Chains A and B, each alone.
Chain A
Amino acid sequence: MSYVAIKGGSEAIRSSKTFFRDMIHHAEGIGDKELQKGLIFSCDRIMGEGGLYSEKLAAEAIRRTGGDLLEAAFYMRAHRSTCRRVGDAETLNCGSMRLLRRISSAFKDIEGGQILGPSCDYVIRLFHGNLQEEEDNSLKVDSMTGPLPSAVDSMRLRDQVIVLPNHEDSPHDVSRSFPLPPYTRSSLMQVMSRGETGAMLAFAYTSMRGYGDVHPTIGDLRIGYIEVKFTHPFTGKKVKVGEIRVTACESIGSFNRDPGDGKLRLSTGFGFCLGFNETKAIAMSILDMAMHHKGYSVGGVDIASNPEIIIHHVDGIESMGFTNHFKLPHYVTFQADLHVLERAKEMTDE
């Protein structure tokens, strides 16, 4: 009988890392431009989930992870810990966005019109065939319009939409302290804005698919560029820091009595994330609606409308970390498990 000690860890780790680098070394040849411009949706996704807007680092993260987007978001989040917090930017107003695309499924005709913009919605997903070889009409993507108000604003002006009460003087910062129940809307929105796209999608889908009953109409979905403004720490003047790509979605849900005055009004939900990621923004607007207008829909079993579930489960970095930790040795705890099993067996055999 041989005894195999689990030692020699450093050498094993060194080799493992070499193997991994070897496996993805071709990524080194992919340039920043190819990643930032060509894989724009991958970059945007990890900037959003990583909670850090840097196209350069996003490209680097993709290179270093062989395109594993959860891992890449993790790089962004880890790097974030090294960045000093300078302060809060001015609140962004989505109405001031320079728009690339803006659609409404609720209204046929909206101020500023439906702008289909760049979208893969109408691409026929075929590797072969002539459908995608439609003639190049040389439209340039940089043609933009705006600013335009949300298409839902017209309903707000007519007092048809419920306004959520605001109990917060300033928004909670989830990156500085994790919120405690009852969760404020600002904290839920922040956690979701950094949430993992797949997780958000799955939770939102439960509400559409049977465990809840949110079937939203998209009032205003937009992608575009928005200026970030900041008060200069020395001069005290407002300065434009730069421009970021963002996605915003406002959805309209079912109606009920407004708890404020008992009048019937429609519910809405809002989703917002860094970068172009329509699926996530829509999912977020559905979750926002499910959580804050609980009881507006009929479904009995709730997942998506439970803030306790959503706030603890949508973060991809956290859930990936815990899931992957199972790869660590569990010899001791498992040994203990076996002992308990043996003991139980003895008891039940008696």
Chain B
Amino acid sequence: MNKQTFAFMDEDAKKEIRRSLLKAVALPGYTVPFASREMPVARGWGTGGLQITLSIILEQDVLKVIDQGCDGSVNAVNMRGFITSVTGVESVTETSRSTIIQTRHRIPEQELTEDHILVFQVPYPEVLTTVEPDTAQQKRMHGDGDYSKLWVLLYEDTSQFGDSRISNRYPVQVDGHYVMDPSPIPKYDIPRMDNSPALQLFGAGREKRIYAIPPYTEVKPLKFDDREFKVESFGNICCERCGASGVFFDEVRIGSDKHFFCSDTEFCDGNRGEEHVS
């Protein structure tokens, strides 16, 4: 009881999760059930991502944890503290030096490589939940490739508001087959999932599902042929700290003034030639 296993969970648990991951990689976009364990952080705080990270991490791995693009955000700090305390692995903020990046709500601005594994914390793994709460029916619909209810939702929103009201976790079709929930990333990050050289793993602890996008896999947002997929646009805005443009920004209001800063804080620090302090 006193000596803890490497990476917290027992070896059988980690093996089971790795096997689910293999299945998920073999069936891109398909949600694989797994026996999600209780983690010492609350369900809904990233236990799915945490379990994946702990199952795949090795002593030589270099860990980066971000929340909303930020290494210093409280949840990221807490996760990183826990993972490093039970593994002893090195943790960094530099995207380029990391091998495993556990993330909530963002994909790092810097282009990922084949050496990266991106682990997403997922609140809702089932893309059909909003239009069909019945689990058995969802499974049938995935089997039949029947995404008509999603298309109807998109159509209704488009006819009323000119575009879908879905701002994040926009449904995507993976490798021309399964439609999946890309975790709550903004639309800006969706095209960056497509054909990525990095392995992308998704863990939903509360919902006990794992899914994956293998490297170099096609990921396309659901969209009508005659409608362009529009990502968040910030116009000509530049980051007030580093001057970057064309990235995803945090909008900060101070008094009545609007200010914009890079959402990816490490990217921002890198642009300024600073070492990131979290």
Contacts and interface: CB of A to CB of B under 8 A. Distances in A.
A109 B130 contact: no
Contact of B130 (A121, A122, A299): A299
A125 B41 contact: yes
A109 B165 contact: no
Contacts of A6: none
Interface stretch (B27-35, B54-62, B246-254): B246-254
Contacts of A255: 165
A86 interface: no
Interface in A95-138: 107-109, 116, 121-122, 124-126, 128-131
B130 A254 contact: no
B247 to A, nearest CB: 16
Contact of B41 (A124, A210, A211): A124
A108 B250 contact: yes
B130 A213 contact: yes
A107 B85 contact: no
Contact of B2 (A109, A128, A131, A297): A128
B133 interface: yes
A163 interface: no
Interface residues of A, number: 26
A116 B129 CA distance: 33
B40 A125 contact: yes
Contacts of B82: 124, 131
A108 B41 contact: no
Contacts of A213: 130
A228 to B, nearest CB: 33
B-side interface size class:
20 to 34
Interface string B42-71: 100100000000000000000000000000
A150 B45 CA distance: 25
A300 B82 CA distance: 40
A338 interface: no
B41 A131 contact: no
A309 interface: no
Interface in A274-308: 297-301
A301 B133 contact: yes
B253 A131 contact: no
A273 to B, nearest CB: 20
A299 B42 CA distance: 26
A108 B251 CA distance: 8
B50 to A, nearest CB: 11
A109 B74 contact: no
A124 B40 CA distance: 5
Interface string B3-47: 010000000000000000000000000000000000011100100
A312 to B, nearest CB: 22
Given A298-B153, A300-B131, A131 B252 contact: no
Contacts of A129: 4, 85
A121 B41 CA distance: 8
A154 interface: yes
B78 A122 contact: yes
8 contacts: A109-B254, A122-B78, A128-B2, A128-B4, A213-B130, A297-B130, A298-B153, A300-B133
